[in-house]
Structure 1
């Protein structure tokens, strides 16, 4: 057989193999596309994308959250004394251990996002799709009141479900403030949850659930509803690119989310951190009692201590979450 014949045969084989490979990859791609567009996956994807987005954002801003919690717990019960700053709190944490201490409670934070953000973004997206479909049938646009209702409902439901992980996060982050002999030295979020259940009972996992739910509703009203409304208005009245609209709307939503939710976040932190004293009593009886005692003993402005840190935590978290979710939505559309 001549060399030309060998070359022709080899070329034919390569062409056939390439065609088969292309057909195979197209078949796999088509199968994947069909799977993503099954009714079940279309219903579940907003929850999956929301959870992944929230976990990525939490991994980015966890040190800021750690500093925010320490600021809220500093000077508890006193109206006077040295006022801590984000910088001084950061120095204290680093002086007591190492840089990785800023990531204390990361496992609890990720679990919280896997539960809480999965639920709140998933429910919000589901509610908004239903509201958009109804508005379209009536020949109108979704109103801000409808967006606000969707945000409030999604936040409340998700916060109640995710309260145990949120409680574990606060306990892990505040453990370092206790005297050395009283520290629990939680190894992970599972260790924290099991320790709480063993020593305080299962119902203790929902300690601070009321302010947690109220905080989440306020935060979602400011974040999701304001983000959705701001983005709609920017799209209608500006020439900004979609990416710029997302970033600008996130910054606007971050401010309102921070302002509306910080007092409830403050009270939630105090209630979840508290443990019974030698007399068997808790420092605060309820959310209302905590509000009253803090206002009387520490001053009304204490509720907004660490606002700048809180905003720096909320706004980037919202931006990262929404950008990642937009990207995942594009990948799975």
Structure 2
């Protein structure tokens, strides 16, 4: 593992002046469109799947001891009870703060992965599997600066209906919770559960991004050159690759997501415990609830993450940001998604010419 990390660090440490040959055969890295696409993908995805995410949070937050009747017996039961008690808008508790912060969070995650893949790839633009995993891990690490406070505030709002015993209690707001934490613990109060969040996001990204990239290569292609030599995976195949990769990665990290949710839940029910850290949470959950507790909400989480990342890849494929930038004249030299495709096509032709000359 150390060899892999050192190999990647050597690539990152190369000064730009010595990397001209390294970069010359690769397409440029258009940063702004990637940031905008990431934000758009996050907003659309969260709006579509937020009620399922709320159910996931409530299932994970409730701790059930032996011979104890759970408040929510299943995903369907949680949906039914939440909707009956809190109505349609109750299913979107915490969505405002999530939609607000998901834009920079998804933009950082998706853009950082593309950036690190760009830096770690060779002259022809190819990248090895271990470098794909490092690029994904670094992307996950970058996003926690936004993810941790976003998840902390979202969880308090989502779980409020579960722990409230009276309908007369004042509903919390993200602003009130944030100000209370800052007054009592400073800015770091918003970063409760950072270690667990980092563990989850780094692991998720190390699984998701390489898996998506390789599944995407297997899909049918659409050509954008006369001889058919230059191609791109079709839209629906990229969507499915995003869904499958997101679902598998989400299921794999569900145990640490349960621990993270418990650590970040500030207000627990009367019979529920508070945890001092990852180790304490793991031991107590295992001892009191068994191994099944670590897979609470796994189905919901897969149902949330799979379409979320499928949508993200769709937005990238369609080049929504490139279209908007061209529409409102924000792109320099009328840069568009088609320009990027043509750039990739020209790069491929140059590489083939170089390979043919080397064989002569």
TM-score normalised to the size of structure 2?
A: 0.72
Query: Structure 1: how far apart are the matches of 2:104 and 2:175?
Result: 14
- Aligned with residue 78 of structure 1, among 48, 57, 65: 65
Taking the TM superposition and a 5 Å limit, the aligned residue runs for 1:6-45 are: 42-45=30-33
Q: Residues 59-102 of structure 1, C-alpha deviation per residue, up to 9 Å, x if partnerless?
A: 1111110111111122x151443451111001111121211110
Q: Is the 8 A contact 1:78 1:297 kept in 2?
A: yes
CA distance in structure 2 between the aligned counterparts of 1:220 and 1:109, rounded to whole angstroms: 19
Residue 141 of structure 2 corresponds to residue 151 of structure 1: no
Decide whether the 8 Å contact of 1:77 with 1:294 is kept in 2. Answer: no
Cα distance per residue 1:102-153 (max 9 Å; x no partner)? 0110112112312321111111111122223xx1x2x573112111111111
Q: What is the rounded CA distance, in whole Å, between the counterparts of 1:226 and 1:118 in structure 2?
A: 20
Alignment check: 8 A CA contact 1:152 1:221 kept = yes
Q: Secondary structure at the match of 1:104?
A: coil
2:265 is matched with which residue?
Answer: 273
Query: Residue 58 of structure 1 aligns with which residue?
Result: 46
Deviation (angstroms), 1:261:
1.5
1:290 partnered with 2:281: yes
Aligned counterparts of 1:183 and 1:116: Cα–Cα separation in 2: 32
The CA distance in 2 between the partners of 1:225 and 1:191, in whole Å, is 40
- Against the structure 1 CA distance between its residues 160 and 241, is the aligned structure 2 distance closer, same or farther, given a 3 Å change threshold? closer
Q: Does 1:166 align with 2:146?
A: no
3-state DSSP of counterpart to 1:103: coil
Aligned-partner Cα distance in 2 for 1:165–1:259: 21
Which residue of the partner structure matches residue 222 of structure 1? Answer: 207
Equivalent position of 1:22 in the other structure: none
Higher helix share: 1
Change (3 A) 1:48 1:119: same
Equivalent residues in 2 for 1:232-271 (5 A)?
A: 232-234=217-219, 242-271=234-263
In 2: Cα distance, 1:219 partner to 1:107 partner: 24
What value does the CA root-mean-square deviation take over the aligned residues? 2.7
Does residue 107 in structure 1 map to residue 119 in structure 2? no
> Residue 285 of structure 1 aligns to a residue in which SS?
coil
CA distance in 2, matches of 1:58, 1:283: 29
Query: Hey, what's the Cα distance between the residues in 2 that align with 1:125 and 1:165?
Result: 23
Residues in 2 aligned to 1:268 and 1:183: alpha-carbon distance in whole angstroms: 26
2:217/2:233 contact within 8 Å kept: no
Q: Distance in 2 between matches of 1:79 and 1:144?
A: 44
Instruction: Please list every run of 5 or more consecutive structure 2 residues that lacks an aligned counterpart in the other structure.
Output: 1-27, 222-230, 324-335, 338-360
Q: Does the Cα contact within 8 Å between 2:36 and 2:321 map onto a contact in 1?
A: no
Instruction: Tell me the CA shift for residue 203 of structure 1.
Output: 1.6
Structure 2 counterpart of 1:308, from 296, 299, 304:
299
Separation in structure 1 between the aligned mates of residue 185 and residue 261 of structure 2, nearest angstrom? 18
Tell me if structure 2 keeps the 8 A contact 1:168–1:193.
yes
CA distance, structure 1, for counterparts of residue 146 and residue 136 of structure 2: 16
TM-score between both structures, scaled by the size of structure 1: 0.77
Unaligned runs of 5+ in 1: 1-38
